Structure 1
Amino acid sequence: MSGQSAETAGRAPAADDGGGRPATGIGARTGAVLVFGSSAAVLVVELVALRLLAPYVGLTMEMNTTVIGIALTAIALGAWAGGRAADVVAPRRALGPLLALSGLVVGLTPGLVRLAGLSEGALALLVGGLCLFLPAALLTAVTPMVTKLLLVDLEATGTVVGRLSGIGTAGGIAGTVLTGFVLVSVVPVSVILIALGVVLLLAGVLVDASLRERRRRGRSVLLAGVAVGGSVAAGVAVPDGCDVETRYHCAVVEKDPEREGGRTLVLDGLRHSYVDVDDPEHLEFAYVQAIASVVDTAYPAGEPLDTYHLGAGGLSVPTYLEAVRPGSTSVVSEIDPGVVEVDRELLGVETGDHLRVRVEDARLGLRALDDDSRDLVVGDAFGGVSVPWHLTTREAVADIGRVLREDGLYTVNMVDHGELAFVRAAVHTLREEFTHVAVAAEPGAFEGAGGGNFVATAAGTPIDTAAWAERIAERGSGWRVVEGAELTEWIGEATTLTDDFAPVDQLLTPYPQRR
């Protein structure tokens, strides 16, 4: 072997810089921190991107899939390109710029997305996708760069690569847990991204300064300072438009210019509830009028009811029932504590023994109720434009039937357009568990001339649909009630939704306008 031993042929030189680290200028601990931190940052950006985009493009399974797909594509490309680049350029010179550039993009993301969102949702998605893709790709490239720097002994290749892979995965887990359980519940998404951008910028400067010549450190610090200032200024200059940024929503309360006490609760750009703080009997939205009408005609006037509500919204139905049926009790399951605070602080809803709001998933809250304990169950829970799938299934409907008394009612608000595949399936599922089902909606919805809100009512005893329709007409909404053979024909060959198969987001035809 021309004078070279077998042992040295299998090794690369591992010179030491005198400080206990390889001559490459980076130690194992520093490399581990970089890999851990960059991997965590990718997951933070991915999760926060979902929240940032929701007000402009909605919160559906398809949108979640799109964002996750963009992130995974960026990760794959970043790993591949970073590995190739590590063999072409000096990794020690690339690490700082990778971190700093990704930080700059992350910090500017809130401002850019909100500016794009002022025009249309498609542009916001494009800008948001790019703002997610670029930093995710750049940050993923950090791992192959660090790997190249730490691979000073070919016989330890497996150890180094495996260790860094494990550290990167641990960083991703940490970023996911930190974001999902802590950050989004206490910090606005814009602050999360701007702060992360600043951290990445500063980390890039520190890494660059430690690995480059001293004469270039001042310039790096100056450029970073300008970038940090620009990111913060952009975030401040473009407000998020939220009165309250909750764990799940951007919440806005709009005043009605034509009614002094009128307030509209807007969540992620969708009008969810209308409340008159001076007159709880005033019901503005047609679907709420339909819900109130079926209750008005199903029970004697003024009779108190024990009710359960899946989703809070503006609590317009519970406050209406309290006003027209004194002594009624309502239990509400609402997953977003921020919405509950908005109801109390901005809409003036008073809770107590008569109205108990529990912060919990509605399916779990339903499971905790006693058998035959409710006269009325109201479903008005939405994630974006979709009813959460696990509240639409036959198993969920059966659980609702369990808690209703013999003459109890279940009435639920749903939204669909186009072919109405979702709402037909949901109504078909109701009929699998309840003997009597009727649906109210605008007349054109049943003839395929549009869509919108549908209020379905299910019961074990006959529903007085004529009285329901008459009461709706008295309120002036013009909705029609369908039951029996006509409803059967309208449902057609719809599928039954179950816990094992409920493609709600795929069946749903969204509509870009506010509901």
Structure 2
Amino acid sequence: MNSPSPDVAAPTASAEPATPRALPSGLAAFLVFYSSGAVLVLETAALRLVGPYVGVTLQVTSSVIGIALAAIAYGAWAGGWLADKRNPRTLLAPALVLSGIATAITLPAVRYAGEVLKGDTASAILLLVAVAVFAPAMLLSAVTPLVVKLQLADLRRTGQVVGRLSGIGTLGAVTATLVTGFVLVAALPSTVILFGLAASLGITGIALGVYLHRQDRATLPGPARVKAALAVLGLVGAGLTMVAPNPCDVETAYHCARVETDPGRESGRTLLLNSAQHSYVDLADPTHLEYAYTRWIGAVADVMAPEGQRLDALHLGGGGFTVPRYLTATRPGTDNLVFELDGGLVALGEQHLGVRQGPDLEVMVGDARLWTARQATDSRDFVVGDAFGHLVVPWHLATREMAADIRRVVRPGGVYVQNVIDYPPLRFIRSEVATVAAEFRHVALVAPPEALAGERGANFLIVASDAPLPLAALRARLDADNEPVSLLSGGDLTDFVGDALVLTDDYAPVDQLLATA
């Protein structure tokens, strides 16, 4: 038997494993930038995904931010823990591929879960947002600590390496936020954004796996298995998406929109935004006002100016353009100027709701607050406030400063009407009446009696002017509708408002006032 040569040292079981090789500096920076950016694309897209089911409110936005931050925290912790347990080079490609798969499955998962979790309760919002964001964001957030671990070969440069990669990750998040908000959301549906991101993550993961496998053939798993897993699960995700319920006909920059034909009225069309009824239009009869609050607006217009007398009207919010069409039909020559934030809704209205721009209708796409500030003083007879984000008046359109600017635009003797939705205990409508009354001398409120009694949520219509309101004529016009409705003014309105908060640009907690709990 031959014995080992005394000059050759035998390997021992206690030998230290080789330190994993660092990634090329450029590749490390790319992975951190890309994975951090992908998390913010998911976060922004999540608001659009969950909106049709739970609305787009401050609570939903806060939930998306909070769940995304939780996913980032858990992902960073898990990635750091795994980096100390295993060779990070073996984990990077699977993390990207799995995050791509999780992203692809997000869309059908949200659509199925959304049908079950519809509503505005805190539990429904948090659960649906978690379905939309948590898994892919957590997987993506594990990438940065894996990369950092690989780059820390020289402990004397720890601060430099960690600081540089942390900064690159933040830049990736900032870049993705801006590109998604300014470009992607405006140009592409959520389906395309998510599947594009999923495909990009999968391709990047596979390419990285091939690259690292060629460098570390003895330690890294073959990319064939990764490809197979991606293909199978990607096909499953795509298949689920094809059969998942889709609440949108058109996805605009702000809304999931759908137009439905009224089964009881062939020419009737209902516009749904984020699955909530928003507007009703009769293509054959623009004088038909289906919803009670639109009939109230029509009643105010009818008593302030005789039928046939043209008006200079300003509309804050377009939606289905029901009221501009009514004014044009009943008062030929009326100049309707509409401020609509969502250009996609304008296009939808032109395609399906009979909207035609011309001498009697001009639409300005943009924020109503900004456009109102540009209007000439004493330039409009009739101003209609009917702007909503889901079922909520945007807070910056509900403040005293906004009411003051509207009062500036309204001519002497002109009228401002504002549509508001509120629910028991009616804190928001009380505050909004107090806010409008802080600027206009004469204010009245139109609402269903049971809503004023706090028995249910409803639309409310605030009517305001610096001139005395034609209340008797308005009461008679409302009674002609043969539907119970209350008209509060004077002391009755003062008693209803009580000591409600006047909303200002500095403090306008609209979402909190609307909370029913």
Q: TM-score, normalised by structure 2?
A: 0.92
After superposition, residues 331-342 of structure 1 pair within 5 angstroms as 331-342=337-348
Partners of 2:184 and 2:479 in 1: how far apart? 48
Partners of 2:275 and 2:499 in 1: how far apart? 34
Contact 2:20 2:150 in 1 (8 A): no
- How far is the alpha carbon of 1:352 from its aligned partner? 1.1
- How far is the alpha carbon of 1:125 from its aligned partner? 5.0
- How far is the alpha carbon of 1:237 from its aligned partner? 2.5
What residue in structure 2 maps to residue 9 of structure 1? none
Q: What is the count of residue pairs matched by the alignment?
A: 492
Partners of 1:266 and 1:478 in 2: how far apart? 26
Contact 2:423 2:516 in 1 (8 A): yes
2:425 paired with 1:419: yes
- How far is the alpha carbon of 1:130 from its aligned partner? 3.2
2:496 paired with 1:495: no
Contact 2:422 2:514 in 1 (8 A): yes
Q: TM-score, normalised by structure 1?
A: 0.93
What residue in structure 1 maps to residue 146 of structure 2? 145
2:190 paired with 1:193: no
- How far is the alpha carbon of 1:124 from its aligned partner? 7.3
After superposition, residues 148-227 of structure 1 pair within 5 angstroms as 148-212=149-213, 213=217, 216-227=222-233
Report SS of the residue matched to 1:349. coil
Output the amino acid matched with 1:378. V
Contact 2:283 2:353 in 1 (8 A): yes
Picking from 39, 63, 68, the partner of 1:66 is 63
What residue in structure 1 maps to residue 269 of structure 2? 263
What residue in structure 1 maps to residue 318 of structure 2? 312
What residue in structure 1 maps to residue 475 of structure 2? 469
- Percent identity among equivalent residues? 48
Instruction: Provide, for residues 85-108 of structure 1, a one-character-per-residue CA deviation record: whole Å limited to 9, x for no partner.
Output: 211121111111111111111111
After superposition, residues 3-22 of structure 1 pair within 5 angstroms as none
After superposition, residues 27-42 of structure 1 pair within 5 angstroms as 27-42=24-39
Output the amino acid matched with 2:397. L
What residue in structure 2 maps to residue 393 of structure 1? 399
Picking from 288, 303, 326, the partner of 2:309 is 303
What residue in structure 2 maps to residue 6 of structure 1? none
2:85 paired with 1:88: yes
Report SS of the residue matched to 1:409. strand
What residue in structure 2 maps to residue 19 of structure 1? none
Partners of 2:363 and 2:164 in 1: how far apart? 48
Cα distance change, pair 234–125 in 1 and its aligned pair in 2 (3 A): farther
User: Which stretch shows the higher mean deviation, 85-94 or 375-384?
Assistant: 85-94
Report SS of the residue matched to 1:390. helix
Partners of 2:372 and 2:273 in 1: how far apart? 24
Contact 1:57 1:125 in 2 (8 A): no
Output the amino acid matched with 1:448. G
Partners of 2:382 and 2:105 in 1: how far apart? 49
Output the amino acid matched with 2:144. T
- How far is the alpha carbon of 1:299 from its aligned partner? 1.5
Contact 2:106 2:131 in 1 (8 A): no
Partners of 2:351 and 2:516 in 1: how far apart? 31
What residue in structure 1 maps to residue 21 of structure 2? 24
Instruction: Provide, for residues 47-105 of structure 1, a one-character-per-residue CA deviation record: whole Å limited to 9, x for no partner.
Output: 10011000000110011001100011111222222222211121111111111111111
Report SS of the residue matched to 1:64. helix
- How far is the alpha carbon of 1:217 from its aligned partner? 2.1
Output the amino acid matched with 2:115. L
Output the amino acid matched with 1:120. L
Contact 2:451 2:457 in 1 (8 A): yes
User: Which stretch shows the higher mean deviation, 253-262 or 232-241?
Assistant: 232-241
Partners of 2:221 and 2:291 in 1: how far apart? 67
- How far is the alpha carbon of 1:302 from its aligned partner? 1.5
Partners of 2:141 and 2:20 in 1: how far apart? 24
Output the amino acid matched with 1:356. E
Report SS of the residue matched to 2:468. coil
- How far is the alpha carbon of 1:236 from its aligned partner? 2.3
What residue in structure 2 maps to residue 48 of structure 1? 45
Instruction: Provide, for residues 311-334 of structure 1, a one-character-per-residue CA deviation record: whole Å limited to 9, x for no partner.
Output: 001100011000001110010000
Report SS of the residue matched to 2:235. helix
Q: Which contiguous aligned blocks of 4+ residues in structure 1 show a shift greater than 4 angstroms?
A: 122-125
2:113 paired with 1:116: yes
Report SS of the residue matched to 1:333. strand
What residue in structure 1 maps to residue 6 of structure 2? none
Report SS of the residue matched to 1:455. strand
Output the amino acid matched with 1:435. R
Output the amino acid matched with 1:149. L
Contact 1:117 1:124 in 2 (8 A): no
What residue in structure 1 maps to residue 390 of structure 2? 384
- How far is the alpha carbon of 1:115 from its aligned partner? 1.1
Partners of 2:41 and 2:364 in 1: how far apart? 29
What residue in structure 1 maps to residue 336 of structure 2? 330
Instruction: Provide, for residues 323-353 of structure 1, a one-character-per-residue CA deviation record: whole Å limited to 9, x for no partner.
Output: 0011100100000001001110011211112
RMSD of the TM alignment (CA)? 1.7
What residue in structure 1 maps to residue 4 of structure 2? none
Instruction: Provide, for residues 385-443 of structure 1, a one-character-per-residue CA deviation record: whole Å limited to 9, x for no partner.
Output: 10000011000000000001000100010000011111100000011001100000001
What residue in structure 2 maps to residue 321 of structure 1? 327
Picking from 432, 436, 456, the partner of 2:442 is 436
What residue in structure 1 maps to residue 131 of structure 2? 130
Report SS of the residue matched to 2:91. helix
